[in-house]
Chains A and B, each alone.
Chain A
Amino acid sequence: MISFSQVYKRYPNGYEALKNISFSLEAGEMALITGHSGAGKTTLLRLIAAIERPTSGSIIVNGQNVSTLKGGAIPFLRRNLGLVFQDQKILFDRNVFQNVLLPLQISGFGSTAATRRVRAALDKVGLLNREKAWPITLSGGEQQRLCIARAIVNRPSILIADEPTSNLDADYARDIMDMFVSFNQVGVAILIATHDVELLGSMQQRILTLNHGELAA
């Protein structure tokens, strides 16, 4: 599903964010990426969605070589990925429903089918009764769930989340993680970056540890 092979990412100022990364994530598999802050977790996730390009090496996502993908093909790659961003990127000038609707408008869904899907996604994250609410009135945990609903509304085969539990207290964080586990149980491949070591203690998942841009064995 996702496969990295000898991937390097070097920034123009000479900083090496990722060094010789090779791993693969199978369909329906769930993995956590952990590491200290600045270890390269976010960069790795951004490479998968082609928000950044690797300096060398190859990245295969859904059978497409992302490192050589043309600009015009990138939107279609991203539609098959569910992305939860570290800084959330909620649009505060529209309500919960419209935020979740956006990916479907982009894919060109008709309004009735889209409405059904938005409600289903909101139901899965427990926000169905808040669909008319404005994002600013949501709690931190609810905002995070809104982001997850937006990521899954397109029914992607891969879900990628960057620090989905940061700024949440332990109970909320547990809820969010349980939610990801339940998505994984219905066959979605999941890759989560987190530095929340406490949380990791109770998880049974595969863990990839990054250390100064390198994968620890």
Chain B
Amino acid sequence: MNVWLSHHLHALALAFKRLGRAPLGSLLSIAVIGIAFSLPAGIYVLLENLQALSGQVSGAPQLSLFLRLDVDKDDVAKIESYLEQHPPVASFKFVSKDSALDQLKQESGLADVMNGLERNPLPDAFVVSTRALTPEGLEALRMELGQLPQVEYAQVDSAWAKRLDALLKLGHLAVLLLGALLSFSLIAVAFNTIRLQILTMQDEIEVAKLIGATTGFVRRPFLYFGALQGMVGGAAAWLIISAGIYLTDDQLKDLLQLYEVNFRLYHLSLEDSLSLLLFSAGLGWAGAWLSVANHLSQVEPR
């Protein structure tokens, strides 16, 4: 146990030393890994944010009920009591034709045009949030409410959210593919770095083997080095994403406020961040292992 621990500590210390010995080379390798990884991880962050945004905009599925133009206050009250007693309805909001017109005037800047109209062309409306979560349940509710005599037309508002969800799923697939492709670049970087190290350390490896080093003893520092380089590269990717979020967050906030959405960009969650580091470390280790398996046997004592 003691020997095992001392071997591993020794290998880890050597890996750190080798990383520090060629600072510029290490820095460039780490930058390559970081940039390669920041691409899929960045897109992933973007997708997660889009999902959160779409959830915020239409968290619960909503229905809009547009009433006939000739309804009066009694009819509105009837629908209100109907909705109140209807279990699938979570909440609802009445938007009178006058307030809808005011809002349109304010937001569209078409006040002059609107003022020229003889009468208000907008209907009274209800915005209904439902508890129905399946598309079928929502559709059934839409049909039911649409058949009320006072209702001209019932519309499901979450169709675009469904389309967005489908797009997001496609995006996740793209991230996976991109990640898989760029993972190869990390393996290649580790492979080549380790190959160069083995070439420059031939003397040391040869002497170590001559005085009783096992293959494991020689291999271990290289594996640690690969994992370490991969992990630091993953951290670099994380920092690149952070910088990206920092730079775009404020502008995005201003933009979204134009759409009356209060939204801040999320970074990778703690879990996702750890996964990123572990994954990049694992890939570095794998690249180092491949390289060592290929090149170490060429350094036999002569």
Contacts and interface: CB of A to CB of B under 8 A. Distances in A.
Interface of A: 49, 51, 72, 75-79, 83, 85, 89, 91, 93, 102-103, 105-111, 150, 154
Contact of B208 (A76, A83, A106): A106
A136 to B, nearest CB: 14
B134 interface: no
Nearest to B3: A108
Contacts of A110: 2, 6
Given A89-B206, A89-B207, A91-B207, A108 B6 contact: yes
Contacts of B209: 75
Contacts of A109: 6
Interface of B: 2-4, 6-7, 10, 203-204, 206-215, 217, 301
A107 B212 CA distance: 8
B126 to A, nearest CB: 77
B154 to A, nearest CB: 77
7 contacts: A51-B301, A76-B212, A78-B211, A83-B210, A89-B206, A106-B208, A107-B3
A103 B213 CA distance: 8
B203 A91 contact: yes
A155 to B, nearest CB: 13
A156 to B, nearest CB: 10
Contacts of B203: 89, 91
A106 B3 contact: no
Given A103-B211, A106-B213, A109-B6, 4 more contacts: A51-B301, A78-B210, A83-B210, A110-B6
A72 B207 CA distance: 17
Contacts of A89: 203, 206-207, 210
Contacts of B10: 105
A150 B212 CA distance: 12
Contacts of B204: 91, 93
A83 B211 contact: yes
A194 B203 CA distance: 25
A102 B6 contact: no
Contacts of B207: 89, 91, 102
Contacts of A103: 211-212
A72 B211 contact: no
> 4 smallest A-B Cβ distances: which pairs?
A108-B3, A79-B212, A78-B212, A75-B214
A107 B217 CA distance: 9
A103 B211 CA distance: 6
Contacts of A111: 6
Nearest to A85: B210
A53 to B, nearest CB: 12
Nearest to A151: B211
A102 B210 contact: no
Contacts of B217: 75, 106
B7 A108 contact: yes
Nearest to A93: B204
Nearest to B206: A89
Contact of A51 (B3, B7, B210, B213): B210
Nearest to A108: B3
Contacts of A79: 211-212
Most B C-beta atoms less than 10 A away, residue of A49, A76, A89: A89
